[in-house]
Structure 1
Amino acid sequence: MLAETIFSAVSVAGLGIAAITAYRKKYLSATRIAAWALVPLGLVMTGAVEWAFDTVFSPVAWAGFGVLGAAWLLLMTTRGVERRRGGRKAAAAGAGPAAVAPGVSAPARDALARPARPAAQGGDAEDFSDIEAILKKHGI
C-alpha cells in the first residue's frame, strides 16, 4: 500500500512538472515529462508494483532465485568440465583425420593421413594452392 502511494505521488509530481514546462512553452519536453510521469501510475494500476514488492519481500521468492542460481552454476560447471575433457581428448588423439571422420576404413584413413604430394611444376599448381590450403584447414 505504501509503495502504491509513493508511486502515485511521483506521478502527480511529474505531471505538475510537465504542466509547468508546458506553461513555459516547451511543449515537446512537457510531453516527454508527462509520458515518464504516467509510467509509475500505470505500474500501480496494473498491479505490477504490488507483485514486485511481494516478490522483493518474500523469502520464498529469494529462495527460488537461489535455487535458480545454483542450477545455473551447476550447468555452467558441467559445461566447462565437458569442454575441458573434450579438449584434452582431441589434443591427446591429435588433430588428425581420425578426429574428423572416426568411422573411416583403414585404407581411407591412411590416404587421409598421408601428406599431400608436392604439386607438379607448372601453372596449375599455383592455381589450386589456395583451394588446397582451405581444404587442409577444414580437414578435408
Structure 2
Amino acid sequence: MLASTICATAVSAAGLGIAVLTAYRKRFLAAARIAAYALVPVGLAMTGILRWVTGLVFDPGVWLGFGVLALSAVLFMITRAVERRGAEGGKAGRKERKAAAAAASREALAPGASAPSLDPARTATRPQAKGKKAGGAEDFSDIEAILKKHGI
C-alpha cells in the first residue's frame, strides 16, 4: 500500500509540474486540464481503488475466471452457428426456399398482370434485322425480357 501511494504521489507531482509549466506559457485551459488528470492517481490511491485493481490484476484466480468466461462465450457462439446451419436444411432446401420466395415476390408485385408486349402496329411497320432494328437502333428484346422477369 505504501508503494502504490508513493508511486501515485510521484505521478501526480510530475503532472502538476507539467501543468505549472503550461500555465507559465499562458495556456491556462490546458494547464487546468493537465492538473485534473494529474490529481486522478492520488484520488485513486486515497479511495483504495488501487488496492482493488492491483488485487484484480495480480490474482491468478481472477485470470482463471476470465478464461472460463471466455470459454463460455466461445461455446455459445459455436452452438449458435451450428444451430443456424442445421436449421437451414442443406443446399437443396435453400434452392427450394429461394425459388418459392422468387415466385411469391413475383405474385406480390402484380398478381393478375400479363406480360408486357410491344404495340403490334408499331412493330409491323419496321422490319427487324438480326438483333437490330432497321434505323440502326438496338433491339429492346433484352430489356423486355428483364421486365418480364420482374413481372412489369
TM range (shorter): 0.5 to 0.7
Q: Is the 8 A contact 1:19 1:30 kept in 2?
A: yes
The aligned runs of 1:110-125 (5 Å cut-off) are: 119=114
Distance 1:73 1:56 in 2: 23
Shift of 1:4: 2.9
Residues 1:85 and 2:89 are matched in the alignment = no
TM-score, structure 2 as length reference: 0.59
Structure 2 runs not aligned, ≥5 long: 118-146
TM-score, structure 1 as length reference: 0.64
Shift of 1:45: 2.3
Identity fraction in percent: 46
Residues 1:22 and 2:17 are matched in the alignment = no
Which aligned segments of 4 or more residues in structure 1 are displaced greater than 6 angstroms?
A: none
Distance 1:49 1:60 in 2: 18
Q: Is the 8 A contact 1:4 1:50 kept in 2?
A: no
Cα RMSD (Å) of the superposition?
3.5
Distance 1:69 1:94 in 2: 33
Q: How many residues align?
A: 116
Residue equivalent to 1:8: 9
Residue equivalent to 1:45: 46
Distance 2:79 2:5 in 1: 44
Residue equivalent to 2:124: none
